[in-house]
Structure 1
Amino acid sequence: MLNKIINVSTGLRFARIGSVRPLLQKILNSFMAFMLIFSIAFATIETIDPEPVLASGEFACENSEGAAYVFQSYWVSNSNTLNILRGSNTGGSNSTFSTTTIESFSSWSHGSIEEVNSLSMDKDGNMYAILKRTSTSTVYFYKLNYNASGSGTASYININIGTGDNNAASYYETTVSGTTYKYIFTSKGFFKGNRKAIRINSNGTYTVIDVNISSGSTWATAKAKDFAWLEGSSTHDFIAFNSETNDLLGATVSHTNIGASNESISVSLTQRASNVGSGMSSNSGAAMTAADGVVYFLENDDGRLWKYDQSLDTSTGNNTNEFVLTSDSFQNS
């Protein structure tokens, strides 16, 4: 290559001006063409939206189209395995609901397992569940860590969350004076028993807080198998469905000494709507927060999904279709 450069330089030194100009023009054109191709390639690379970078153990919260994922857990007792199913709508205006088993967990710090349920997940994709044993009524709090190349890792969080038949849980957060406080709420059904709020502290520790019912205790029920957080709601923080009485139920959270070691939490329970969802069987299941005030309720018998839309919730019944059956299913997709 060096020899070629020397030869060209020598030739230029003895060439006439008329013969040099076309050569220089060719060199300039070649350089400009190269720079144009390079610029286009660079611009193309810059306009491609990168995939979100997840911290270790986090689940993705939305698909490539920006649609929120919803998650369902399924316990296989003969192998002590918890399968995590993930669903989302794809295809824009002609969207279709598709599901896949995204992860499984089969190694636990406790034996004699009755069931692992009460699935919840924060906005960053950190997933949690509660383990129940056949030998005791004590319940155990686990973090479920996603593994893109194999089975996930279930990490026991050694905190005392009491005794009971917990089967419901939801993430919840609130911001006060610029500080965001994060919690996992759990209980038997809709605040019927062993009501706990697990505060996720910024230093990586956890604080367990008993949850009291300040009003509306008649609406606490084990027949509402799960509840879900409504981010940004100005009326109620959680929504649940009682498939036995066909009621939509709401809960509003109050804090005292928020963030402190002596924090106390209470909920006010209300009936949001009556005579809704009459087509659902009595075997209702998970409540799954999507986004923008939308929550999906799973019908355990056939996997059908019912949609709650907070923007249509007038608390006067189902006159505005705030709770409707969808064509989506965790079993038929």
Structure 2
Amino acid sequence: KIFLSALSFLLIFSLVFVTIESVDPEPAYASSQFACFDDSGRPIGYRITASDNDNRLTIQQFRHNGSQYTYTSANNYYTNFQSAVWGSTKVTAAMMDTKGNLWAVARNGGPDLVYIDKNTGNGTVVMYNLANSGAWDGAGYFEHNGYEFLGFGKGMMGSGQLIEITGSNLTSSSSYDEWNFSSNMVSMASALKDTEDFAWIEDPSGLPTYSGVSPKIIGYNNDLQQVVLGYVTSFNASTQSMTMTFTDTSVSKPSDWLTNKASQVMGFGGSEIYILHNNNGEVRKLSYSSGSWSWSAQLGADMGSSSNVDAAACHGGSPTTTFNPTVTATQGSCDGTNREIDITLNNTSSNKAVTFYTSYTINGGSSTNLSTQQVNSASTNTSLKIPGQTNGANVVISWYAEYTTENLREPTSGTTSLSTITIDASSCS
């Protein structure tokens, strides 16, 4: 009886251990995040609109089907009205990080920085009184030298403020720290305050440099028809200070985009930049090639006009990219008295070549890495095998995959662990 009790305890303990091993922990705030990608791996864009009529923010998703943007109100989210948070509900500054966390600046006397929870619709003020006077109407998230920042100001960092994200509890003011920010403008036609919005350029390769420095953020002034680039020209982590230098270049606006109407900027992966026009709700891609900027055609149905509005995205992927890598594993051939495991790297639902990283553990031991594999678009790879293991061994396979050109990763952090495989080598000899 003592032996059977001990054996039962060991079996239960082993099962619990395997279960814990096969689940990758999520950040505490993961459930509050907005989706960055649809089921095909295409990035989702968001338009955040304040309505004085029903006292709430409407957060609209717009998705790309491979050829154009589509929109349906069934995908909308709505905030709860909290007068202490939103005041008159007017918001013209919103920003989103690479994980789908969303912030907005509330015009409630402060103005105040608010973190928005996707599931509850609640907003939590995490920093009060961002400005001594006026109201910030441009905002964006960006990264530099491993630091994560929220930047906002009058237009494109005009009289700007810079906040570092320092913690993981994003509804707590202790997770944010203000830096010193200054700006320089070089022979600009635009004023920063009139460049209505900006976004992070995740990979600025091929874009114009300034004194050898690649641009960090991009904005668009619709009235003056100028593309504005911001470069980090001074950075000191010990003194928490940053200087940006700004330049601008002309680009003719689309013929149906009225002046005196702001435009919102969304950054996806790489240098994929999309502009949403407030007056007609059109979305167009802004591209740079051979020394000049140009516009795409209108990308799908417009979303209607709005004045109290901003747009945001997760800074990954491209609306025309599908990214949906998966990994499966099955017990394979006998290897003497042991049995191998065959691994399939599946990239059939992606239209880009993807790099897979896989590893495995045996009976909860240390992890062993398998060789890195690049799998072409619309393809699979079955070359990976785990060497023969003894009968009854418990094998856990973990993996992640990347397309670094557009900052795409599955999962977005950590690894995905497959269900435990218990080796059946009873028929091997």
| 1:50-107 deviation line (CA, Å, top 9, x unaligned) | xx998120111011111111111111113320110111112x4x45533444311133
Aligned twin of 2:71: 98
- Where does 1:57-96 land on structure 2 (aligned, <5 Å)? 57-90=32-65, 92=66, 94-96=67-69
- 2-structure distance, mates of 1:294, 1:256: 25
Offset at residue 190 of structure 1 (A): 2.0
Aligned twin of 2:363: none
SS at match of 2:43: coil
- 2-structure distance, mates of 1:285, 1:296: 10
Cα pair distance change 1:73/1:111, threshold 3 Å: closer
Residue 189 of structure 1 pairs with residue 155 of structure 2:
yes
Cα pair distance change 1:325/1:266, threshold 3 Å: farther
Aligned twin of 1:271: 248
Cα pair distance change 1:327/1:232, threshold 3 Å: closer
Offset at residue 162 of structure 1 (A): 1.7
Residue 172 of structure 1 pairs with residue 142 of structure 2:
yes
Residue identity matched to 2:275:
F
Aligned twin of 2:380: none
- Pick from 113, 116, 132: which aligns with 1:141? 113
Offset at residue 279 of structure 1 (A): 4.0
Residue identity matched to 1:127:
L
Offset at residue 224 of structure 1 (A): 2.0
- 1-structure distance, mates of 2:241, 2:262: 31
Aligned twin of 2:204: 233
Task: Say what the alpha-carbon RMSD is for the aligned residues.
Answer: 2.6
- Considering fraction of residues, name the structure with more helix: 1
Offset at residue 306 of structure 1 (A): 2.0
| 1:250-270 deviation line (CA, Å, top 9, x unaligned) | 111244322x4x311111101
Offset at residue 200 of structure 1 (A): 0.3
Deviates more, 1:195-204 or 1:298-307: 195-204
Aligned twin of 2:274: 296
- Give yes or no for contact 1:169–1:187 (8 Å, CA) kept in 2: yes
Offset at residue 114 of structure 1 (A): 5.4
SS at match of 2:131: coil
Cα pair distance change 1:247/1:279, threshold 3 Å: farther
| 1:284-333 deviation line (CA, Å, top 9, x unaligned) | 33211233311221111111112113xx345x434xx3x3342324427x
- TM-score normalised by structure 1 residue count: 0.71
- Give yes or no for contact 1:161–1:208 (8 Å, CA) kept in 2: no
Aligned twin of 2:192: 221
- Answer 1 or 2: higher relative contact order, Cα 8 Å, separation at least 6: 2
Offset at residue 160 of structure 1 (A): 4.4
Residue ranges of structure 1 left out of the alignment (5+ in a row): 1-51
Offset at residue 242 of structure 1 (A): 0.9
- Pick from 326, 329, 333: which aligns with 2:298? 326
Cα pair distance change 1:111/1:61, threshold 3 Å: closer
| 1:207-255 deviation line (CA, Å, top 9, x unaligned) | 1224211332744333321111110215211111111111111111244
- Give yes or no for contact 1:159–1:206 (8 Å, CA) kept in 2: no
- 2-structure distance, mates of 1:190, 1:278: 24
Deviates more, 1:246-255 or 1:277-286: 277-286
Percentage of identical aligned residues: 20
Cα pair distance change 1:128/1:330, threshold 3 Å: farther
Residue identity matched to 1:215:
M
Residue ranges of structure 2 left out of the alignment (5+ in a row): 1-25, 170-174, 206-213, 305-429
SS at match of 1:222: helix
Aligned twin of 1:49: none
Which is greater in Rg?
1
Cα pair distance change 1:153/1:245, threshold 3 Å: same
SS at match of 1:110: helix
- Give yes or no for contact 1:226–1:285 (8 Å, CA) kept in 2: yes
